[in-house]
Amino acid sequence: MTQPCSFLFVLGCGLVGVAYYRLLTWGFPGFNSGANPLQFIVTTVMVIVGTVLVFFGLATVVTLLLRRSKRYWRDLNAFTMRQVDSQINSACMSMAVVSLVLFLAITSVTGGMSICSALNEMARISSPFSASIKVIYTPDATKVLDIQQIAADEGADLASVGATSLSTLYRTDKLVSEHTSVHLSDIGDKLGIELPDAFKYANANTLGMFTMSLSDYNSTREILGMPKIQLADDEYAISCTLSGIEQFYKEMLRKGYDLEVGGRKLHASKFGLISDPSAAIENSSIAINPGTLILPDDVIETGTPYETVLNLAYTQPTKQANVSVKKAIGILEQFQAGKGKANHVVQVMSLTATEAAQNGNTLSGLISYLAVYIGFVLVVSCATILAIQQLSSSADSAPRYRTLAELGCPDRLLRRSLATQIGVSFILPLLVALAHSLCALKVVLKLIESFGFVNLASSSTLVLVIFVVVYGGYLLVTYACSRGLMLTAIAEGRHAL
């Protein structure tokens, strides 16, 4: 029996190790180019089967190793290890399940709180304007609309609300020459820069980076109270609000990637990458600018418009200004329903700073609640299962402790043996769960960090608090109850004598 158990333990470790490698190499399907759903299912099955096999053979392997030590034969160590061996072998399946559930608890809390951290960071930099209104065009659009004038003609004068900035994003398909690519994967391959997996499906890669004229961009900076930038006739700049892709653009600009637009070669400007509040382009609950080219005005004249954005910086009270903005939005929606088709307008959207903050707080609060609630429930469930198992085992083992006490074994050794058994039963599943979590979180956090800063310290602290208070509390209560059962059995034996 010893050899099969040892073999299964080694096989389980091998399956878990291969699963770790597959996850770290391929990542999650839908976000990494090397992963697909079938491979991810296979990886998950390998982790589950490997965990069960590890627990099935763990006690035997540990006992074989400890028997080679002289300490194994001292005090009650041999008795304790036999007790642990018996408990693990009889409950290997349940301990494996507990370990996997603890893994889900750790990853849900840490991952969820990390997402909230990234969302809060993105919300901070993604809504620099009092309000944003935009219209989105069809791919065959040629005319740029003055949405501020359209609203004014119908009685919604947004200029009276505060400072305004009208800017247009253009598609690059008709701007750049065939010798130039504005797709991130092509740029990365040409310059030898690795594109983060999370951005291989972003619009900046699949559709190519959108572009904006220098004058439009400077008008955006102006209402934010920021100085204008200057570009030479042969220069371009890049703005971006997603921290995960910033290093890619910095390397791209450092290596001097040139663009050929309208027969003119453009070089990277001295400004490099722009990631200040003006890079947001428009209000959003999350960062949505994966990279926008800023080009001289005359270069962009023949471009195909993608969207026109009207940003506002209120000088009126917020509530009063929001009423005027809602009126303008209603006018534009009526325009889209009537003349929109002829003007290639497919959608009208808006977002005020107040709405962006509310949306961000709602989403962040929901994720936080679900992460903590799910993690708490799972930890309590696992701790309860282990506590019941240990109390049942302690009740069955009470006659053994009474016999040892009758043979003259000190109470100190009996308590230490009991504490070791309970501690091992609680800690082993947790250690395996932590190993699984460290591997999974390495991929999860890398993905989350692609979109915003992650405060791992706060996420880890919350997980630590939950486990210390809940899991540790159950361990201590289980030991106290089991100790009571043991002392009661010993006292009954002594009374019978």
pLDDT in tens, 3-39: 677 788 889 899 999 999 988 888 777 666 556 778 8
**DSSP per-residue letters across 70-110:** GGGGSTTHHHHHHHHHHHHHHTHHHHHHHHHHHHHHHHHHH
Radius of gyration of the chain (CA): 32
Of 167-176, 201-210, 238-247, give the lowest mean pLDDT range: 201-210
SS3 label, residue 155: coil
User: Is the pLDDT confidence value at 306 over 90?
Assistant: yes
Compare 190 and 369 and report the one with higher pLDDT. 190
Encoding tokens for residue 208? Answer: 């190519």
pLDDT digits (tens, 9 = 90+) for 45-88: 999 999 988 888 877 777 676 666 666 666 676 777 777 777 77
CB burial of residue 311 (10 Å; 0-12, 13-18, 19+): buried
Question: Who's near 195: CB < 8 A, 6+ residues apart?
Answer: 184, 185, 188, 205, 248
Residue 313 confidence (pLDDT): 93
HEC sequence for 423-466:
HHHHHHHHHHHHHHHHHHHHHHHHHHHCCCCCCHHHHHHHHHHH
Residue 226 confidence (pLDDT): 93
Yes or no: say if 56 and 43 are a contact pair by the CB < 8 Å rule.
no
Encoding tokens for residue 421? Answer: 């058994």
Residue 405 confidence (pLDDT): 81
Yes or no: say if 292 and 238 are a contact pair by the CB < 8 Å rule.
yes
Residue 195 confidence (pLDDT): 85
pLDDT digits (tens, 9 = 90+) for 341-396: 888 888 999 988 888 878 777 877 788 888 888 888 888 899 999 999 888 888 88
Yes or no: say if 70 and 237 are a contact pair by the CB < 8 Å rule.
no
Residue 148 confidence (pLDDT): 92
User: Is the pLDDT confidence value at 479 over 60?
Assistant: yes
Residue 100 confidence (pLDDT): 92
User: Is the pLDDT confidence value at 451 over 70?
Assistant: no
- Sheet harboring 264-274: ordered strands across? 259-261, 264-274, 235-239, 292-295, 210-213, 162-171, 304-314, 131-137, 345-352
Of 326-330, 424-428, 461-465, 477-481, give the lowest mean pLDDT range: 461-465
Residue 328 confidence (pLDDT): 93
pLDDT-above-90 percentage for the chain: 29
